[in-house]
Amino acid sequence: MNIESRLAQIGSQEDPNTGAVNFPVYHSTAFRHPRLGQSTGFDYSRTKSPTRSVLEKAAADLENADGGFACSSGMAALTTIFALFGQGDHLIVSLDLYGGTYRLLEQILSRYGITASYVDTNDIEAMEELCQGGTKAVLIETPTNPLMMITDIEKVASWAKAKGYLTIVDNTLLTPFLQRPLDLGADIVIHSATKYLGGHNDVLAGLIMTKGEELTKQVAFLHNSLGAVLGPQDSYLLMRGMKTLALRMERHEYNSIKVAEWLKAHPAVEEVYHPGLPHHPGYEIQKRQASGNTGIFSFRMKDARTVEPILRHLKLIAFAESLGGVESLLTYPAVQTHADIPIEIRKKVGVDDRLLRFSVGIEHIEDLIADLGAAIDAALQEIKEA
């Protein structure tokens, strides 16, 4: 079936005993054994639970994976994957990186002897120079957050495979509806499922998808051993959100491109970073490896003084720190999502005091442009009167 049908039908045929089209929530943490040496397949909910199992099966199917693992957050998913590595191991990581991933690598994993180097992952020569004896993997965000840099997944995965490295791709911003990195040669895909997969700002979750029998077994062991698993109620909420993913992503993409085009023409805006616009340097790669664009992008104002009043004058759009929900959110990365990244690194990448990140929701496009336009006009007027 096409992915739209598979999404809509998540869990609808998994309960043959009752025929329920909405798979039930099993809150039980323990399960009876029929007799000594026999199991129903469920023993203890950290290891495996019915509701989570249906979610994991559906997620693996969407990414064409051999295994799927639902975690208690996107950071829990990352932590589980990073547990594949140990003392003396080294990772090559996307330069424009989510602040929480940077914090985990530099402030926690570094204490266990795991190091990371940050680079534009489209620059194979630069990655070659970073290779060490202990290099084990490449971690790619594509698009990156917040500057929407695009990496050629197939090219990097081929390079990594020739060197014996794992390729890990954070697919949060595009979801399997628009991009499937495992089909392009990646070994592991991770999601902050809190974002577009959940889609309603009401569930905290992470997903891991793996390719290959041995790697899948390793991650299954870590998932159970570390125990950062997703509970049954959140598994249900995530499945419910995923059923409408196709419809939502189509609207997110449409709205985000319209707003990005409007901002591109605004005299107070210096630059717009949206891979769906032809001027974006990753436009052709994005067209080749993905079937569409996400609903998030960033833009840079010409004057840093406009940022605070813009955020203050918004009425429909919320000034809030997340993305991927049906509600539109505007974020100030320098003091929110990327505050843990040292200022010299932020400035080198381009996350400065004039950059705003827009997670465009599914509201009517005219209302979104009117709200943002009024906020920018009010900010400019305040500066003029100051």
Active site residues: 46, 98, 170, 195
CA angle at 166 for the pair 162 and 172, rounded to the nearest 5°:
130
- Strand ranges across the sheet with 329-331: 269-273, 296-301, 355-359, 329-331, 318-319
Residue 287's contacts (CB-CB under 8 Å, 6 or more residues apart) are none
Rounded Cα gap, residues 208 and 67, in angstroms: 8
CA angle at 205 for the pair 288 and 234, rounded to the nearest 5°:
130
- Over the range 289-302, which residues count as b (16 or more CB within 10 Å of their CB) and which as e? bbebbbbbbbbbbe
Within 13 Å and on the Cβ side, how many CA atoms surround 353? 7
Rounded Cα gap, residues 116 and 137, in angstroms: 10
With beta carbons less than 8 A apart as the criterion, state whether 190 and 74 touch.
yes
Q: Where are the alpha helices (DSSP H) in 191-282?
A: 213-226, 232-242, 245-264
Residue 95's contacts (CB-CB under 8 Å, 6 or more residues apart) are 118, 119, 120, 121, 144, 149, 349
Query: Shortest CA distance to 113 belongs to which of 95, 137, 134?
Result: 134
At 233, list the tokens: 């109620």
Residue 191: which H helix or E strand, with range? strand 188-192
- Over the range 227-249, which residues count as b (16 or more CB within 10 Å of their CB) and which as e? ebbbbbebbbbbbbbbbbbbebb
Burial class (CB in 10 A: 0-12, 13-18, 19+), 223: buried
DSSP secondary structure code for residue 106 in this structure = I
